[in-house]
Structure 1
Amino acid sequence: MNILSLFLIGIAMSTDAFAAAIGKGIAMRKPTLKQALKIGVLFGVVEAITPMLGWLLGKAAAQIISEYDHWIALILLSLLGIHMIKEGLSSNDDEDDEVDPTQQPFIKLFLTSIATSIDAMAVGVGMAFLDVNIYVVAMIIGCSTFVAVTVGVMIGRYAGHIIGRYAEIVGGFVLIGVGMGIAAEHVGLLG
């Protein structure tokens, strides 16, 4: 897997957190950069840890299904992508009704960060079947999420929930594309 694919995965994994951050930013009254950075760090760290956990799970199963690894990666990434597109197209705006997240208990922000990082764990499972350095993948995903969440909180009250939906839809298509690229590379269609 090339470095461009890794960065695309990092960006795709951060889009759901970005969408959530926009929702948080909408709910906040004049968020400060310090507040946005704190939320960004929390989401980035959680998003960096979850692919490593998924990778460990995938490595445990890798010996059993290594013959089909590229198809598993394609299926996992495609299912995640389809789910993200579906979520982006849904009109569920329950998060917009929340109060200022910096005044919520830490546990609520933490649980939100976990909820937006489940897809990164599934990506980690898929990475276990490929020849990639999971620490580099985790760092890219974590840094992308940190930046996306920080920016999302800051622009949330200005941009509204529409950008969040589009970001998640684009992220879903990116994941499907990366999965197709992995499968094409392994069956000899790409270099």
Structure 2
Amino acid sequence: MACALGMDAFSVSLGMGMLGLRLRQIFRIGVVIGMFHIIMPLLGIIAGRLLSSYFGMIANLIGGGLLLLIGLQMIVSAFKSEDEPAIKPVGFGLIIFALSVSVDSFSAGLSLGMLGAKTIVAVGLIGFMSMLLSWLGLIMGAKFQNLVGSYGEVLGGFILLGFGVKLILP
């Protein structure tokens, strides 16, 4: 399960990596995504033990909506004359990005909470794998961005849009 949730973060990180990030930014982004992949399933486990699986669908809708918003902002900013993208993976933008890629971990946490999984082991593995795979996706996206030039941000935006739609639609 940790690999599956991490692969989702990897895929979305490919798109964000096309913003031309520095290694220090890539490191921070991966750490924050890893932390969110610990916090979200932990909250899901707690909620899963207390509530029904109704929140799983709501979490997917929220995550999908956030990815759509980020993807649209990346595409729009690519066509503006400014050099700066509309959303940057720093500060509040980083929190929104990390939240959007970790919302599916909340749903997984709901299931784990209902099944009575070992909390520390589960969330630790999910966070660690998500951090590693996010780093890999960000680095690969940055390398790919060098190959596609100015169209990298548009391509990254469409990747994020695709994953947003995937989360929203069944």
Give aligned-pair identity as a percent: 15
Residue 123 of structure 2: aligned partner: 134
TM-score by length of structure 2 reads 0.64
* Alpha-carbon distance in structure 2 between the residues aligned to 1:170 and 1:110: 20
Residue 101 of structure 2: aligned partner: 120
Residue 39 of structure 1: aligned partner: 25
Task: Give the gaps of 5 or more residues in structure 1.
Answer: 25-35, 99-107, 182-191
2:110 alignment partner, SS class? coil
Residue 165 of structure 1: aligned partner: 154
8 Å Cα contact 1:10-1:145 kept in structure 2: yes
Residue 57 of structure 1: aligned partner: 43
Does the alignment pair 1:86 with 2:75? no
- Cα 1:113–1:95 shift into 2, 3 Å: farther
Paired residues, number: 158
TM-score by length of structure 1 reads 0.59
Structural RMSD (CA): 3.7
* Alpha-carbon distance in structure 2 between the residues aligned to 1:124 and 1:65: 16
Task: Give the gaps of 5 or more residues in structure 2.
Answer: none
* Alpha-carbon distance in structure 2 between the residues aligned to 1:77 and 1:114: 12
Aligned partner letter, 1:173: G
Q: Deviations over 1:66-115 (max 9, x none)?
A: 241442343234323433443343236698349xxxxxxxxx98536445
- Cα 1:135–1:83 shift into 2, 3 Å: farther
2:77 alignment partner, SS class? coil
